[in-house]
Structure 1
Amino acid sequence: MRDVTIVKRYAEALFEVAENRDIVEIVKAELHTAKQVAQNDAAFLRYLSEPKISLDKKKALIETSFAAGSIEIRNTLKLLLDAGRISSIPQVADVFQTLYDEKQGTAQATVYSVRALSEAEKKTVAATFAKKLDKKAVSIDNKIDPTLLGGLKVRIGNTIYDSSIKNQLTRIERNLVNVSK
């Protein structure tokens, strides 16, 4: 719980700075890039986490790796490095995205389905959940999950809406067991 609160503070501080300087879109994109690097380049994080390497060398790597980016991103990464939380880059990016979405009146949804959804189906799901959540729009990230059998499972933030056939069968089974007792 404490880690979540700390990560949220970094994201909120960065968001506030970006808003004050009117560069929220730029910082969001750069933070997404930093998240991708942290998730896809294990050597990068290993280097930054190595206790035998001096802090100055690690900061120099951040400076050169993100030289094309904003000073706000480089400074945030250095702050995370100083605090021993450099592995929290993806979480900071996620919280920043949530703050951005709240400000824009939008939401991010991960939709799990047995097959890839068509654009029309994505639009229908997005419109349905935008209305349900009272949001301007919902952005859909479709993931294939063959274990669902059919239907959809939608995750928005920490909430999961499960209308999958697998879940419906589980509920029927539970009801039958409860009735037979």
Structure 2
Amino acid sequence: MVNPRLAGRYAKSLIDIAVEKNVLEAIKADVAFLLTAINSSPELKSLLRSPIIKADKKTAVMDAICKGRVNAITEAFCRLLVSKSRENALPEILGAFNEQYNALKGIQQVKITTAQPLSEDVKASLLNKLKA
């Protein structure tokens, strides 16, 4: 299990750089892309967590995934994690990034539980009230 403080620190660093360079929304999109890639590929998740696979191999795989698809800052951040042997924490760091992004933007997640499925009209009405 990855230390949540470690994930939070790396995520904060990424957010700080993204805000400084005025590319926060681009980095947010990159985070979503990487989380989707990791969560949809058990092989990639295993590669990141494996202590046996060498750093140069992990760097090559991450470069192949990132090249031309993510911001240069995100690409450099992934390389930094591999060079510091922190790539195993990437999913947790990306999750912490999303939490910190939501806090920064004042976004709160809401979970609604109902006895019956909601109609589209009720969903739209509820969404409007929550946005207000």
Contact 1:14–1:76 (8 Å) recurs in 2:
yes
Determine which structure has the larger strand proportion and give its number: 1
For structure 2, list consecutive stretches of 5 or more residues without a partner in the other structure. Answer: none
Look up the equivalent residue of 1:91 and give its one-letter code.
Answer: E
Distance 1:94 1:122, change over 3 A: farther
Aligned to 2:122: 121
Aligned to 1:4: 4
Percent sequence identity is 21
Look up the equivalent residue of 1:39 and give its one-letter code.
Answer: N
Distance 1:89 1:116 in 2: 36
Distance 2:75 2:11 in 1: 14
Distance 1:85 1:102 in 2: 24
Give 1:111 deviation, angstroms: 2.8
Look up the equivalent residue of 2:55 and give its one-letter code.
Answer: L
Distance 1:35 1:113 in 2: 29
Aligned to 2:30: 30
Distance 1:85 1:110 in 2: 32
Contact 1:34–1:89 (8 Å) recurs in 2:
no
Distance 1:49 1:88, change over 3 A: closer
Look up the equivalent residue of 2:103 and give its one-letter code.
Answer: E
Look up the equivalent residue of 1:43 and give its one-letter code.
Answer: E
Aligned to 2:97: 96
Look up the equivalent residue of 2:123 and give its one-letter code.
Answer: K
Determine which structure has the larger helix proportion and give its number: 2
Distance 1:87 1:124 in 2: 42
Contact 1:101–1:107 (8 Å) recurs in 2:
yes
Contact 1:45–1:86 (8 Å) recurs in 2:
no
Give 1:74 deviation, angstroms: 1.9
The yes-or-no answer on 1:80 pairing with 2:89 is no
Distance 2:16 2:90 in 1: 17
Which string of whole-angstrom CA distances, capped at 9 and with x for unpartnered residues, describes residues 143-163 of structure 1? xxxxxxxxxxxxxxxxxxxxx
CA RMSD of aligned residues (A): 2.6
Distance 1:59 1:121, change over 3 A: same
Contact 1:38–1:89 (8 Å) recurs in 2:
no
Q: Name which one, 1 or 2, has greater alpha-carbon Rg.
A: 1
Give 1:11 deviation, angstroms: 0.8
Give 1:14 deviation, angstroms: 0.3
Distance 1:14 1:46, change over 3 A: same
Look up the equivalent residue of 1:98 and give its one-letter code.
Answer: E
TM-score of the aligned structures, taking structure 1 as reference length? 0.60
Aligned to 1:66: 66
Aligned to 2:40: 40
TM-score of the aligned structures, taking structure 2 as reference length? 0.79
